[in-house]
Amino acid sequence: MGIVVATGENTEFGKIAKLMRETRQITTPLMRKIAAFTRFLIIAVLALATINFVAQVIFDYPLVYSFLASVSLAVAAIPEMLPAILAAILALAAIAMAKRNALIRKLPAAETLGVATVICSDKTGTLTKNQMTVVRIYAGGKEYKVSGVGYEPDGEFIFEGYSINPANAHPDLLGTLNAGFQCNDASLVSEREKTDIIGDPTEGALLVSAAKAGISQRSKRLDEIPFESEQQYMATLNGGQDENYIYIKGSPERVLRMCHSQLTEGHTGALKRSEVLAEADAMASEALRVLGIAYKPVPKTQSSLSSEDLAGLTFLGLQGMIDPPREEAIEAVRKSKRAGIRPVMITGDHAQTALAIARQLGITGEGVVTGEELARMSDDELYETVDRVSVFARVAPEHKLRITQQLQRRGQITAVTGDGVNDAPALKAADIGIAMGITGTEVSKEAADMVLADDNFASIVNAVEEGRHAWKNLEKAILYTLPTNGGQALLVMGAVLLAPIVVLFSLRLPLEPIQILWVNLFDSVFLTMPLMMEPKEKGLLDAKPRSPKEKIANRLFFIRVGLVSVAMAGTGFIVFYYFGSPAVSGPVVNELLLTQAQTAALMSVVMVHIGFIFTARSTYDSAFTFSPFTNKWILWGVGITLVINLAIAYLPFLNSLFRTAPFPAEWWLLLIFALFPGFLIVEMEKLVRKRLKKN
């Protein structure tokens, strides 16, 4: 028989669904920057194209030609390949991250990690190995040590320096071990002479400690109250010979609140609450996860279990288990701090356990805040706390959402890990939600932007490095594409504006519309795309994250676009004027010579592009600091570009299509020098920037 107690949004799943629906999906910093940059670019290009069209009409260019030239200018200035380049760079970053156990579900997340300023991580399994082993037990007022590691049931119980058998005169210890064995959903399996567990590692550790005492027989389970992070305990009702028994395990504080007595020397006596809590704190301060265990005999006729039955329990003992930090997590925390990223631990463990593990990992902050304290805080109080505290313990999943929101309110870019259904709202609200691939639920994975295949914190830091690499390559592509596009636009506009002064420009533009379109196409395919394959720069994790407020069209962008545009347009003007001016020196215009001069101008623009690509491989470092052979895709792109453009200049069937004409070979003596303006002007700008930075 089933009893309906709630429907729809009033159910636990309904509440989560409602919270998910009310949680706003965060737009990534990259998408916000691209949107703002696109708006700026469209307005600027449309304004330039309009000015160009009006100027050409005023200077008596044919109307159709003026329209085509203005459209070509707009096409030349707009980096139409940028969306494809962006998608390709993010896809390559996603592939690289997948090789390092970080699976990207939403492409923009591949770059977002590169700007993350805070990583809110679970402890168990992510920062620690999730291989629990019981090493300390407190029962009947006595302390016991347990030897052995892992899930092999080999080990001894040591009391006052001597090995003992729990079955001999240690009923409290035996009762504690048996209760942990009975109130348990895990199981031990042996395969190929190796013992492993099926189920939760914490429960597996309790099974192993019981197995070391020879306990292997489970009594029949009649009912249970499964573990919930909010209630912090699990209880079962098991059958016995003369009476049935309730067994419970959970956080020591929670279990003690349900107890009124304690088992000592096999007899029920007064509960030593302060002594038990002091022992739990002592274990937790040694980075042990501590579970309190209790029981209660009930009539043989009782076959169901409810929370009302969990009163008047007899406390049995504590089991303290160690879950050592991952060695790679310690290094990853160090790397993240060096990279300007603050690691924050959010766990359901005891406050002292969390603090001890945090110290071992190198996570620092002002103490620890518990879920109970957090629940009493207002949002404003939590806002003042999140920047100072890096360890949150005994928290419920909904607290993770509040912590995330207040960190974002602080202006932090948050990466948040989670594995449970209740973690889904926090994963959705985070700038990048990270689900666990091994222990994560399908709901958490659906809500996340990234899934960790190995549930390892170190994989997050590795992904941060790949995210920063993705941004570096995207920045290089933008800072290469826009200056070259700007140069073509300036070449066309400059010729139009100079037409009243320079007769040559009133007869013919330095580049035909189809030539502008062609330059844009080959440049995007053969020169810009290879920039995506630039190898990873050194020291990516040695710099602080970029500011989320930093715009793509920043000061460097305008300087680089201005310098290269002027260099390219100036080179094109000089070549076109130098070779084309003799065409109008007499009464009859030499149309062939004008076409040859246009072709030479086209080749000069191509040469400026080629020269510029070699310095564009690094945003700040000189081209002389790295080998040209570290990215062979660039060399292939340059080679293909030269071959195709030589074909356009010298093959008759391409001449008619691109409105070009073969020009004398000696012209190349001047055109070769077109390799240097774009290269040298950027190298000089980098040098000046470095010297100013030093000063």
Residues in CB range of 224: below 8 A, 6 or more apart: 234, 235, 236, 237, 305
Q: Which helix (H) or strand (E) holds 677?
A: helix 676-694
User: What percentage of the chain's residues is helix, strand, coil (to nearest 5)?
Assistant: 55, 15, 30
Which position has the higher pLDDT, 506 or 660? Answer: 660
What pLDDT, on the 0 to 100 scale, is given for residue 179? 96
pLDDT reading at 598 higher than 90? yes
Question: Is the Cα torsion angle 10, 12, 14, 20 positive or negative in sign?
Answer: positive
**Whole-angstrom Cα distance, residue 367 to residue 423?**
24
Give bridge partners of residue 689 from the DSSP assignment. none
What pLDDT, on the 0 to 100 scale, is given for residue 22? 66
Structure tokens at 590: 């030499």
Average pLDDT over residues 16-22: 71
Average pLDDT over residues 126-133: 85
Longest dimension (CA), the chain: 124
* Cα-trace Rg, the chain: 35
Structure tokens at 546: 């970029």
pLDDT reading at 650 higher than 90? yes
Alpha helices in 528-590 (DSSP H): 555-580
What pLDDT, on the 0 to 100 scale, is given for residue 481? 86
Give which of 177, 522, 121 is closest to 333, Cα–Cα: 121
CATH entry 3.40.1110.10 includes domain 133-322 = yes
What pLDDT, on the 0 to 100 scale, is given for residue 305? 94
Indicate the range of 34-38, 352-356, 612-616 predicted with least confidence: 34-38
CATH 3.40.50.1000 in the chain, residue ranges? 118-128+326-454
- The angle at the Cα of 446, spanning 411 to 127, to the nearest 5 degrees, equals 65
Active-site residue, 242 included: no
Residues in CB range of 186: below 8 A, 6 or more apart: 197, 198, 199, 200, 203, 204, 206, 207
pLDDT reading at 24 higher than 70? no
Give which of 115, 106, 94, 104 is closest to 33, Cα–Cα: 115
What pLDDT, on the 0 to 100 scale, is given for residue 519? 87
What pLDDT, on the 0 to 100 scale, is given for residue 615? 93
pLDDT reading at 193 higher than 80? no
What pLDDT, on the 0 to 100 scale, is given for residue 26? 62
What pLDDT, on the 0 to 100 scale, is given for residue 13? 76
Residue type, 136: R
Distances 242 to 295, 298, 358 between C-alpha atoms, Å = 16, 10, 47
pLDDT interval class at 314 (50, 70, 90)? very high
Residues of 483-501 as b/e, b for ≥16 C-beta within 10 angstroms? bbbbbbbbbbbbbbbebee
pLDDT reading at 25 higher than 80? no
Average pLDDT over residues 641-663: 94
**Active-site position among 122, 349, 419, 431:** 122
Instruction: Determine what percent of the chain is predicted with pLDDT higher than 70.
Output: 98
- 485-536 pLDDT tens trace: 888 888 877 777 776 777 777 778 788 888 888 888 888 888 988 988 899 8
pLDDT reading at 391 higher than 90? yes
- 132-165 pLDDT tens trace: 899 999 999 999 999 987 788 888 999 998 999 8
Residues in CB range of 213: below 8 A, 6 or more apart: 157, 165, 166, 167, 173, 174, 177
What pLDDT, on the 0 to 100 scale, is given for residue 504? 79
Per-residue DSSP letter, 105: S
pLDDT reading at 252 higher than 80? yes
Topology (CATH) of 118-128+326-454:
Rossmann fold (3.40.50)
CB atoms within 10 A of CB 574: 17
**Whole-angstrom Cα distance, residue 74 to residue 68?**
10
- Strand 342-346 versus strand 118-121 pairing type: parallel
What pLDDT, on the 0 to 100 scale, is given for residue 556? 84
CB atoms within 10 A of CB 510: 28
Indicate the range of 134-143, 393-402, 572-581 predicted with least confidence: 393-402
What pLDDT, on the 0 to 100 scale, is given for residue 419? 85
**Whole-angstrom Cα distance, residue 339 to residue 544?**
5
Average pLDDT over residues 371-394: 92
- With 0-12 / 13-18 / 19 or more C-beta atoms within 10 angstroms meaning exposed / middle / buried, residue 450 is buried
Give which of 447, 473, 443 is closest to 92, Cα–Cα: 473
What pLDDT, on the 0 to 100 scale, is given for residue 150? 79
What pLDDT, on the 0 to 100 scale, is given for residue 654? 94
Q: Which helix (H) or strand (E) holds 313?
A: strand 313-322
What pLDDT, on the 0 to 100 scale, is given for residue 23? 63
**Whole-angstrom Cα distance, residue 11 to residue 421?**
13
pLDDT reading at 406 higher than 90? yes
CATH 3.40.1110.10 in the chain, residue ranges? 133-322
pLDDT reading at 421 higher than 90? no
- 524-569 pLDDT tens trace: 888 988 988 899 888 888 888 887 777 877 888 889 889 999 999 9
Q: For 251, phi and psi rounded to 5 degrees?
A: -65, 140
pLDDT reading at 250 higher than 90? yes
